[in-house]
Amino acid sequence: MKKEDGKQSKTAQLKQFTIDPKNQELTTRQGVKVNDTNNSLKAGIRGSSLLEDFILREKITSFDHERIPERIVHARGSGAHGYFELYDSISRYSKAGIFTDTSRKTPVFVRFSTVAGSKGSTDLARDVRGFAVKFYTEEGTWDLVGNNMPIFFIQDAMKFPDLIHSVKPEPNKEIPQAASAHDTFYDFISLTPETLHNQIWLMSDRAIPRSFRMMEGFGIHSYRLVNEKGEAHFVKFHWKPVLGVHSVTWDEATKISGADSDFHRRDLWEAIESGQFPEWELGVQIVPEEDEHKFDFDLLDATKLIPEEMVPVKVIGKMTLNKNPDNFFAETEQVAFLPGNIVPGIDFTNDPLLQGRLFSYRDTQLSRLGSPNFHQIPINQPVAKAHHNQRDGHMQTEIPKGQTAYFPNTLGGGCPHLSKIAEGAFSSYEEKIDGKKIRARSESFNDFFSQPALFYRSLADWEKSHVANAYSFELGKCNHKHIKERMLWMIAQIDDELAEEVAGNLGLSVPEKIEEPINQAIGADANVADYQPGPKKIYLDKSTALSQANTKFDSIATRKIAFLAADGFKMDDFKQMKSALEAENAVCMIIAPHGGAIKCDAGMEHPVGASITTTESVLFDAIYIPGGQSSIDALSKTPKFKKFINETLKHCKAIAADNEGEELLDETYVKDFKDDKAVLINAAPDAFIKAIGQHRNWDRMKETEGIPV
Ligand code: HDD
């Protein structure tokens, strides 16, 4: 049994601050017992309320100040606690304890998020997802603040406010919420070709995950690992979900937003509560310093990934999330991630996007959390002991002892004292710098089209078709023709046929050239010609890791299966399928014409998970219909069951039925898909399990497009 890392464990530390109202009296904030929290103090039973009422004033004041500013980006998010375990030491590359000590169980807190929407927006927006991990290590806190896509939109932090202003609701009308499908975003994107790579990932299925638990995470930037000898290697961090990478379709995403806009948050919460702990393996791509310039792109350019075919991902450990927060605000809302939080053995690079982030996150916590003492909030406290001379400020909760708060000192015995590097003190990697101070962009950052094209080429046909649909939807929502045309030209740099298809859907043609300079993300004094995109290069035909067609399909754990049934359903069918699915840790739920309970043909009562009026097919991964004539007759009389089945078919999910269950399928479009490999009639449960594990049968995508649901 591994011990939890840290001088004290994070769980024990948080416990000191956790309060539980169970069996406790209601009091004021000062601890005075209260006997009435329903009526204010009044001058006479029907008279006005009195200012003297300290209980009323305290309650209302507290309420008035409950909200803090939401995050300027990534406002909508969900968090969980867990731990990280290292498989094998990589001391050759890094001296960080988390990368060398395999006996540790390092506590983590993770927050997943969307980027553009407000705190209350839908989980299913087409958007990048944040993937931020706080490692509470013995040597201090390390934050790996990444996304679910391996690249970013821009190359220099200087452009971040422009990018975000363009995607956020338009400032005159505050529309649209949590959506990139509008003019200002595409105005900016089409003038800033460096965005194109992340932009096409945004059009792909990665932007509409099935679950937080089924998406990858990436540190994005090249960081440095530094070993005991002070030698450095470039590193890119990858999180690989044990359940594979899976997404919903856009049609489902829009419907889920209506049916359950907390879909991802609920999914994460329920998986952890049910003991199905989400897991990711941590992988590293390591590049020796001397190989820095061996690539067709710049390692310091955050709009580029290193294809796994060029530098393989070495898996070094696993993260498990095993505990939901006790309080959303105290933990998930107040957690403060800072890319600048690193520990000895990990260091930054000169990536200009990363460099700007090192400033921005601390700065934003000051306005969000209100004080430089935000590290003292329990969720943000390191497990490593912290002693420093930083003092005072709003909400100081510690009581630093002694006469001195400066260094050097004699009056405090020279404490807190310095440590030697050999004793674990941080030392910045000594990088040789040779250059002049200059406000410009390196020419090596100038290739904007090679990697978006590599990504597109690597996709399966069904994924490509989703990209075309996404572009058509997003640009279809734009009002300005010149913006759409500039985008079409840009898409043509990725792939001509893709651009033609999107243009057809928009009722436009792909322009041969565009009049204005393409790359306007440069300064007024720059020579525009120097900053035009370089020619598209093909240094790799395809990269298998970029397509979700090559992910894992071996588990149905936590997949939700709707059992469509009514009174009189066949118990034998039901029992056989349910036990087979549950043995694989899938979640089965009866969907019936009404709530409460239904009876099987053996006369037993079974609780209904949801009545058909309160749920939708898009909240499930597959459906099963047990036999039983009276059950099927009842289902057949409720039209929404047919919509439920048709939608499931259209979304390419697995469908199984036994005995009379087939009759219900015959009343839907499924009757024409009986040869489909994920439509299973009177088949063994194993075949259904295999079909669910495949996530979707995309082979039926084209033929089912016309189904009118
Ligand atoms: Fe950022 C939050 C990820 C570039 C400025 N960012 C934030 C969060 C994630 C990322 C996951 C939410 C953390 C949480 O859950 O609390 N950001 C990224 C990634 C980037 C990136 C992967 C590029 C590789 N960000 C970036 C730049 C800047 C910022 C270039 C500014 C120059 N990001 C912020 C911020 C936020 C933030 C304004 C808002 C809330 C917060 O920091 O704590 O400072």
Confidence of residue 520 (pLDDT cuts 50, 70, 90): confident
CB atoms within 10 A of CB 677: 14
**284-301: b or e for each residue (b if 16 or more CB lie within 10 Å)?**
bbbbeeeeeeebebbbbb
Q: Output the pTM of the full model.
A: 0.97
Confidence of residue 1 (pLDDT cuts 50, 70, 90): very low
Dist. CA 145 → ligand 1 center (Å)? 7
Give CA 580 to chain center in angstroms.
Answer: 31
Rounded to an integer, what distance in angstroms lies between the CA atom of residue 635 and that of residue 61?
53
Please name the residue whose Cα sits nearest to atom 35 of ligand 1. 361
Dist. CA 448 → ligand 1 center (Å)? 23
Ligand 1 atom index nearest CA of 360: 44
Ligand 1 atom index nearest CA of 132: 11
The DSSP letter of residue 358 is: H
- Model-level ipTM above the cut of 0.95: yes
Domain ranges of the chain: 36-66, 77-173+199-380, 553-704
Rounded to an integer, what distance in angstroms lies between the CA atom of residue 85 and that of residue 319?
6
Binding residues for heme are: 71, 111, 160, 357, 361, 368
Dist. CA 361 → ligand 1 center (Å)? 7
- Residues recognised as catalytic: 74, 147
Instruction: Assign a CATH topology to domain 77-173+199-380.
Output: Catalase HpII,  Chain A, domain 1 (2.40.180)
Please name the residue whose Cα sits nearest to atom 25 of ligand 1. 357
553-704 carries CATH number 3.40.50.880: yes
CB atoms within 10 A of CB 16: 9
- Among 128, 141, 145, name the best residue to mutate to test ligand 1's pocket (greatest count of ligand atoms within 8 A of Cβ): 145
The DSSP letter of residue 307 is: -
Q: Do domains 77-173+199-380 and 553-704 have the same CATH topology?
A: no
pLDDT digits (tens, 9 = 90+) for 622-637: 999 999 999 999 999 9
Which residue shows structure tokens 């004292």? 417
H or E, element range at 131 = strand 129-137
- pLDDT value of position 7: 45
pLDDT over 90, % of the chain: 94
Chain mean pLDDT for the chain: 96
CB atoms within 10 A of CB 303: 25
Rounded to an integer, what distance in angstroms lies between the CA atom of residue 623 and that of residue 70?
39
Please name the residue whose Cα sits nearest to atom 37 of ligand 1. 73
Confidence of residue 532 (pLDDT cuts 50, 70, 90): confident
**Which amino acid is present at 399?**
I
- Among 72, 73, 220, 300, name the best residue to mutate to test ligand 1's pocket (greatest count of ligand atoms within 8 A of Cβ): 73
Please name the residue whose Cα sits nearest to atom 34 of ligand 1. 361
Dist. CA 168 → ligand 1 center (Å)? 15
Give the angle subtended at the CA of 491 by the CAs of 487 and 495, to the nearest 5°.
Answer: 165
- pLDDT value of position 319: 98
Please name the residue whose Cα sits nearest to atom 15 of ligand 1. 111
| Ligand 1 surroundings by CB, under 6 angstroms | 71-74, 77, 111, 113, 130, 132, 145-147, 152, 157, 160, 220-221, 302, 335-337, 353, 356-357, 360-361, 364
Q: Which positions ≥6 away from 37 have C-beta within 8 Å? A: 26, 55, 59
The DSSP letter of residue 313 is: P
Q: How far apart are the first and last CA of the chain?
A: 52
The DSSP letter of residue 329 is: I
- Environment class of 358 (CB within 10 Å of its CB; exposed 0-12, middle 13-18, buried 19+): middle
